[in-house]
Chain A
């Protein structure tokens, strides 16, 4: 009787969801994996099974590996900067300063602007505003558009992403700080913990659950970056800022190597899944109960 009820509950609450999930996530994913073993070009009616040929194509596509390496560099810088900045600002904004709600909203605003719009706004800032500042002040740094130099264009990508993503993470960290138990902190102070020691041994361990979420979100977002990449640099100058996701799209739809592009997308998926899975596992282990 009980088991039967459970089945009914399951059907009422989960079946529909599972069906939708299967229809829009599982089935396309499996079908996508199947496509990597065929020579389908996106149009033709016949799909021939060609084994691992697409994966050999991936291995040979040096541009993809360059893009992936660049993405790693980008992810490392972005994840560190976003989390350090967000943690720091959240710390400041939970100390009861005047107008802190205003600041929280202010920092969160960039996150509400879509990546494409953001990219175009910043493109204007980098290629017009900065250059005008450079002309007016003679500062070497702003002499030419940041987007026409490979290194500076990369820095521009990082800057915009950090600007956009920090606000979201601030929100999560703020929630974490608000949840800290005053008793524990006070006890620590009485025991003589202060300044950095208090942060390192008391606050940080208690904040680990927020850190887990923030790291996961920044990792996956940074790995899959496409909109800002497209709108801000479009991979330029001369393809030097093309990240992995963008390369996958270009491969499939501009170069029309559908199979290779699809296989590259799968490789990217595996990389991101492994790394973020590992991250969640490692940071989860560090979480403590107050």
Chain B
């Protein structure tokens, strides 16, 4: 009897510990409640009174499909497809890609199944990999004239439609900085790494103990941060390609390359003031948005795609957020310290292999409509919340981050370099950067890892 009792106790204790793990999940809340049921989504109305676009009527009944790999605009695209069909009779099917699938994997599997989408929204590297084999040549399309500086050329031809401009840099929360310092904050006064350190020190003195959020995600470290090393070579995509060639061939020693050292200097500064300094690899992405919105931190390295996260964390369209450049040196005249990076980040590729002539014409009509019709222009800006790279679009983005990028573009304060790197660059070198972030390797070892990675590429 006694034995049975012990056995029972043991079993009870074991189940207890096993169940506990799942239960504790519910007891920890967030600082600010992200889901307020009383919040009403305000949508900017679309003005349909003026529509001077000349619609083609001969394509009625044609069906095309769009593979959407930008999950946040799925609903908006579906709405756009309905309006487009009303106007032209062309049916547009929007196919979503779920979070786990990579755009490239999805489009490749659709090609292998013999059923590729007419249009696919892809990353630039994917377009480069697929274009010459699969894509329709779009060089002569009228919209190319409106997107100067944002087009991707492959051997002199244009195979893709730039969907949106995305920019990245050091996001600041103006209200938090002003409240802490007790004075108005003019981002233009921060011009160099030294200025940034001074600002951060003042924030610390004012009580914001660790004012910087630094994401540990490999895509953030490997793609968004490390790629500055290539992109600030001279601020152009060609320049980035050149410097990559030099690193590959061993011609350029990264130890003597001022951009490498400048980048690591800034990264060290961000590391020093990192809110998660005690456990940098334990940093949580969602918490960073909450920290910035709540004023626990004042600066976060990210891009304008982070707005949905900030919004969910409680930020408002009227709040003042903006971008500081990713400072690469202490030279005020350095373009990298004056401009922020902004380039066309999602590209729409048209299938040239399986699509019929009608489908191609319908897909081209769809793209032109997005660029040249008043309706399309508004829908892209107000519903998808993206910054179109087309100069003829007069509508301004509504969220503060996109607005900041938009203003920088208008003032000529962006450089549009986007480095074309192998597809596993973010994952492998992101890992190397994590190691450096966690102080588990020094600069020398990091540079060796970067060199080894490039040496392996053909």
Stretch binding the partner chain, chosen from A127-135, A181-189, A205-213? A127-135
Decide if B75 is an interface residue (CB 8 Å cutoff).
no
- Nearest-neighbour CB distance to chain B for A91, whole angstroms, equals 9
In the assembled complex, the Cα of A97 lies from the Cα of B10 at a distance in Å of 11
Stretch binding the partner chain, chosen from A66-74, A252-260, A281-289? A252-260
CB contacts (< 8 Å) of A148 on chain B: these are 216, 279-282, 438
Q: Given A43-B108, A43-B111, does the pair A110, B8 have CB atoms closer than 8 Å?
A: no
Contact A236 B218 (CB under 8 A): yes
- What is the number of residues of chain B that contact chain A, defined by CB distance less than 8 Å? 44
- Nearest-neighbour CB distance to chain A for B432, whole angstroms, equals 7
Contact B422 A147 (CB under 8 A): no
CB contacts (< 8 Å) of A132 on chain B: these are 28
Decide if A114 is an interface residue (CB 8 Å cutoff).
no
Decide if B102 is an interface residue (CB 8 Å cutoff).
yes
CB contacts (< 8 Å) of B133 on chain A: these are 43-45
Contact A163 B424 (CB under 8 A): no
Q: Which residue of B lies closest to A113 (CB)?
A: B22
In the assembled complex, the Cα of A223 lies from the Cα of B143 at a distance in Å of 52
Decide if B156 is an interface residue (CB 8 Å cutoff).
no
Residue of B14, B25, B281 ringed by the most chain A CB atoms within 10 A: B281
CB contacts (< 8 Å) of A256 on chain B: these are 104, 129, 422-424
CB contacts (< 8 Å) of B57 on chain A: these are none
Contact B8 A97 (CB under 8 A): yes
Decide if B455 is an interface residue (CB 8 Å cutoff).
no
Contact B284 A128 (CB under 8 A): yes
Decide if A165 is an interface residue (CB 8 Å cutoff).
no
CB contacts (< 8 Å) of A103 on chain B: these are 11-12, 15
- Nearest-neighbour CB distance to chain B for A186, whole angstroms, equals 18
Decide if B46 is an interface residue (CB 8 Å cutoff).
no
CB contacts (< 8 Å) of A98 on chain B: these are 8
CB contacts (< 8 Å) of B102 on chain A: these are 253-254
Contact B7 A237 (CB under 8 A): no
Contact B28 A128 (CB under 8 A): yes
Q: Given A238-B431, A254-B424, A255-B423, does the pair A110, B4 have CB atoms closer than 8 Å?
A: no
Decide if B134 is an interface residue (CB 8 Å cutoff).
yes
Decide if B364 is an interface residue (CB 8 Å cutoff).
no
Residue of A96, A100, A236 ringed by the most chain B CB atoms within 10 A: A236
Q: Which residue of B lies closest to A85 (CB)?
A: B14
Partner among B12, B21, B218, B432 whose Cβ is within 8 Å of the Cβ of A122: B21
CB contacts (< 8 Å) of B280 on chain A: these are 148
In the assembled complex, the Cα of A238 lies from the Cα of B216 at a distance in Å of 10
Q: Which residue of A lies closest to B125 (CB)?
A: A256
Contact A93 B11 (CB under 8 A): yes
Partner among B24, B130, B282 whose Cβ is within 8 Å of the Cβ of A131: B282
Scoring A residues 86 to 103 as 1 if CB is less than 8 Å from chain B, else 0, what string do you get? 000100110111111001
Q: Which residue of B lies closest to A255 (CB)?
A: B424
Contact A95 B15 (CB under 8 A): no
Partner among A92, A144, A250 whose Cβ is within 8 Å of the Cβ of B427: A250
Scoring B residues 193 to 227 as 1 if CB is less than 8 Å from chain A, else 0, what string do you get? 00000000000000000000000101000000000
Residue of A45, A236, A238 ringed by the most chain B CB atoms within 10 A: A238
Decide if B434 is an interface residue (CB 8 Å cutoff).
yes
Q: Which residue of A lies closest to B7 (CB)?
A: A92
- Given known contacts A106-B15, A163-B18, what 10 new A-B pairs fall within 8 Å (CB)? A42-B112, A124-B25, A127-B282, A147-B282, A148-B279, A236-B218, A238-B434, A238-B435, A238-B440, A239-B428
Instruction: Pick 21 A–B contacts, CB within 8 A, sort by A.
Output: A43-B112, A43-B130, A103-B11, A124-B25, A125-B21, A125-B24, A127-B282, A127-B284, A128-B28, A128-B284, A129-B28, A143-B279, A236-B281, A236-B431, A237-B434, A237-B435, A237-B438, A238-B435, A250-B424, A255-B424, A256-B129
Q: Which residues of A contact B (CB under 8 A)?
A: 42-45, 89, 92-93, 95-100, 103, 106-107, 109-110, 121-122, 124-125, 127-129, 131-132, 143-145, 147-149, 163, 235-239, 250, 253-256
| 9 closest residue pairs by CB, A with B | A148-B281, A145-B282, A144-B279, A255-B424, A238-B431, A238-B434, A239-B431, A97-B8, A106-B15
